[in-house]
């Protein structure tokens, strides 16, 4: 222990960690919740400190010894006027020459909300919303605040809402009886569930304990609140009366609302010369504080999803743009088996390789974007799921079988070949898919490879360790093995719905057509009902499909195409085996599809060891009939690569590349 400038002792090892850049912290110290990255400091016997990127730049003064111990925040600080909770402004103790002005706020998560409806209350808030009001958990509060800081407050400008910066969340070690904390178990449990769902693993990296306090630390914003400014005569009654409606309107434009918005939440600042208040573009400047009742509006959810999907499609359709973009801290460009990836660690300790050169795609495939969204299982015996991510992107993710012994009969030639070869690694699967695409074969698009942060070991009788031996010298930039038997791997693929989603803008799914008001809700229901009736009448009996699986085709002007009967032109996909089982193609056509695919694979220098009809997706029209190309052959896409051998592929551990 070392003496600080005030005589207080602190652990030099704890203080020294702040000298490490945030993005270079070890994965065991990094975590993420509701889109916010944290550095987690475990303080033995003194609780847990979660520090944001903003807080990391503040550094040592945020250690609890410098503001929390012995109630320093209340003895040396002051309770903020007009606050209903326990909120304090304090200057931290000096620590190795640094100190900080902070706001200390005790979270009221799980407590009853005593809402008082002011005349400035948003007029679009229903009585049901008021009755269901709840204080945000600390992690939700920081997550919402970060989204608010990034949102524009005017569609015609790049203006942002001025707010406090979120610095840290401190969880003292003491436990209390519930009556002392004023928490309801049912209210608190709902927050625990939301946090668990946000984390990739069931045992969340960040957890909520109903018996512990949560203390939020914010940057101090200089100034006084609007009520104080009015009482001091710094602003007029007219300016005061106009400020709250303006703040509510700007919040709404950004897609947010605060259920207890009031003048004490708006901080204004007198000019340094004492003459008037700080203004911007001729209007009074203000900063918003207090976010425990901050909410997103439904309009925000819709806008966010549409904007994210539009951004994603633009990135996909400009594959050369990423090469020139600088890499954010923590990301690196790597090449494995001849395929370019942007590589980085995930906040939960995992690893992520996104296919291509564009670092902007990396965030779209972090595990919290797709692992906890509603999903449809596409296989009974393994994890193959289709989902619409938080960014409104359709993907299929599948657990890799690398390292698993193929469970096939060795007494047939095909089974013997499979056992001798084993399952491809995820990197081989993507290399094979890219080779086939270069040779002109239509396949689903590879998007990313994710390695879990948690460890899992296969049972000995299931283990096939040949791939791990093959990749033993292929390393990440941190010199870890890219292929580890102690972790699970997931491949993320683009969803093929009968039309190649990359490089084509001539379609919109049925759900999005309703959301974008290309069709009315009544048309949507009628089209979906008519479509299912037509498919059943023709023998296609699968009516469990979601509306976003059906694509409406568009002309070059963006108008919905119709066929000669006046029905919308519709496309969707199903695997060839299912289409054959429903009697929509003959056995001869089915065999021809398999043979054609095998020939295309061979022409690309590969060999299919176990090609099946359920590995081929067909493009179908609204009657369930296969769509055909210019030669009259059914349109199809290959969707499984785990047992396709690239005959000329050899490992080059020195370059992580492929020798072809």
* Residue 8 confidence (pLDDT): 42
Q: Provide the terminal-to-terminal Cα distance of the chain, rounded to the nearest Å.
A: 59
Cβ-contact 396, 493 below 8 angstroms: yes
pLDDT tens track for 94-149: 888 889 999 999 999 988 887 554 544 455 555 556 656 789 999 999 999 999 99
pLDDT tens track for 299-312: 777 777 777 888 88
Q: Where are the domains of the chain?
A: 2-222, 305-419+445-496+647-659, 517-638
* Residue 154 confidence (pLDDT): 64
Query: Rounded to two decimals, what is the model's pTM?
Result: 0.70
* Residue 321 confidence (pLDDT): 61
Angle formed by the axes of helices 185-198 and 138-150, nearest 10°: 50
Cβ-contact 311, 633 below 8 angstroms: no
Which one, of 241, 278, 244, lies nearest residue 258 by Cα? 244
As a whole number of angstroms, the distance between CA 575 and CA 623 comes to 16
As a whole number of angstroms, the distance between CA 517 and CA 389 comes to 22
Which one, of 222, 167, 221, 134, lies nearest residue 54 by Cα? 167
As a whole number of angstroms, the distance between CA 605 and CA 626 comes to 28
* Residue 79 confidence (pLDDT): 92
Long-range contacts of 151-159 (CB under 8 A, 24+ apart): 151/254, 151/255, 151/256, 151/300, 152/253, 152/254, 153/250, 153/251, 153/253, 153/254, 154/250, 154/253, 155/253
- Give the tokens for residue 101: 């002005």
Which one, of 387, 359, 349, 375, lies nearest residue 199 by Cα? 349
As a whole number of angstroms, the distance between CA 548 and CA 497 comes to 9
Q: DSSP label at 328?
A: P
* Residue 128 confidence (pLDDT): 57
pLDDT averaged per 10 residues in sequence order, the chain, 660 residues:
41 77 86 90 89 94 94 92 85 89 94 63 55 84 92 65 94 88 84 78 69 95 91 90 90 86 89 83 89 85 76 77 76 93 88 93 91 82 88 92 89 89 95 95 96 78 84 89 93 91 73 87 93 92 86 86 87 95 94 96 94 95 92 94 85 46
Cβ-contact 510, 498 below 8 angstroms: no
Task: Give 78's strand partners.
Answer: 89
- Give the tokens for residue 529: 């009902």
* Residue 505 confidence (pLDDT): 57
* Residue 651 confidence (pLDDT): 52
């Amino acid at each position: 222990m070392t003496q600080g400038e005030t005589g207080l002792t602190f652990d030099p090892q704890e203080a020294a960690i702040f000298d490490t850049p945030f993005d270079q912290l070890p994965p065991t110290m990094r975590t993420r919740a509701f889109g916010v990255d944290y550095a987690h400091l475990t303080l033995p016997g003194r609780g847990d400190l979660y520090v944001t990127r903003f807080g990391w730049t503040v550094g040592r003064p945020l250690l609890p010894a410098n503001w929390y111990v012995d109630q320093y925040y209340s003895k040396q600080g002051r309770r903020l006027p007009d606050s209903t909770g326990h909120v304090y402004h304090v200057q931290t103790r000096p620590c190795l020459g640094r100190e900080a002005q902070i706001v200390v706020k005790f979270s009221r998560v799980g407590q009853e909300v005593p809402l008082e409806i002011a005349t400035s209350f948003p007029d679009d808030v229903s009585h049901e919303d008021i009755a269901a009001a709840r204080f945000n958990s600390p992690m939700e509060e920081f997550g919402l605040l970060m989204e608010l800081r990034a949102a524009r407050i005017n569609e015609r400008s790049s203006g942002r809402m001025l707010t406090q910066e979120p610095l840290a969340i401190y969880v003292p070690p003491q436990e209390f009886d519930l009556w002392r904390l004023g928490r309801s178990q049912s209210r608190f449990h709902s927050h625990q569930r939301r946090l668990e769902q946000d984390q990739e693993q069931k045992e969340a990296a960040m957890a909520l304990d109903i018996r512990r306090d949560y203390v939020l630390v914010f940057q101090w914003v200089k100034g006084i609140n609007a009520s104080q400014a009015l009482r001091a005569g710094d602003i007029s009654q007219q300016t005061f009366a106009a400020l709250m409606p303006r703040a509510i309107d700007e919040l709404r434009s950004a897609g947010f609302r605060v259920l207890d918005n009031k003048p004490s939440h708006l901080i204004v600042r007198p000019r340094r010369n004492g003459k008037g208040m700080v203004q911007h573009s001729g209007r009074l400047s203000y900063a918003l504080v207090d976010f425990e009742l901050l909410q997103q509006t439904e309009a925000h959810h819709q806008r966010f999803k549409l904007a994210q999907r539009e951004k994603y499609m633009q990135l996909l359709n400009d594959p050369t743009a990423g090469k020139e973009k600088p890499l954010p801290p923590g990301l690196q460009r790597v090449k494995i088996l001849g395929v370019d990836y942007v590589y980085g660690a995930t906040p939960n300790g995992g690893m992520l390789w996104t296919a291509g050169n564009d670092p902007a795609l990396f965030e779209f495939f972090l595990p919290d974007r797709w692992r906890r969204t509603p999903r449809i299982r596409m296989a009974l015996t393994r994890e193959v799921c289709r989902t619409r991510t938080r960014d409104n992107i359709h993907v299929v993710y599948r657990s890799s079988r690398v390292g698993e012994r193929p469970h096939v009969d060795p007494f047939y030639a095909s089974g013997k070949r499979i056992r001798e070869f084993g399952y491809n690694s995820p990197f081989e699967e993507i290399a094979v898919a890219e080779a086939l695409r270069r040779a002109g074969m239509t396949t689903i698009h590879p998007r990313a490879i994710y390695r879990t942060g948690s460890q899992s070991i296969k049972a000995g009788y299931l283990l096939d360790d040949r791939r791990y031996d093959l990749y033993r010298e292929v390393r990440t930039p941190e010199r870890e093995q890219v292929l580890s038997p102690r972790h699970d791997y997931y491949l993320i693929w683009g969803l093929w719905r009968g039309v190649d989603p990359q490089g084509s803008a001539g379609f919109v799914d049925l759900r999005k057509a309703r959301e974008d008001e290309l069709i009315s809700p009544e048309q949507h229901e009628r089209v979906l009902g008519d479509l299912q009736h037509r498919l059943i009448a023709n023998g296609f009996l699968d009516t469990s499909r979601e509306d976003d699986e059906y694509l409406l085709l568009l002309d070059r002007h963006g108008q919905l195409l119709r066929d000669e009967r006046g029905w919308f032109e519709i496309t969707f996909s199903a695997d060839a085996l299912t289409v054959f089982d429903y009697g929509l193609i003959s056995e001869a056509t089915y065999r021809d599809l398999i043979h054609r695919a095998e020939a295309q694979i061979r022409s690309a220098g590969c060999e299919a060891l176990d090609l099946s009809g359920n590995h081929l997706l067909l493009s179908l029209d609204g009657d369930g009939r296969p769509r055909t190309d210019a030669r009259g052959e059914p349109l199809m896409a290959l969707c499984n690569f785990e047992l396709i051998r690239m005959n000329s592929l050899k490992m080059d551990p020195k370059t992580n590349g492929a020798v072809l």
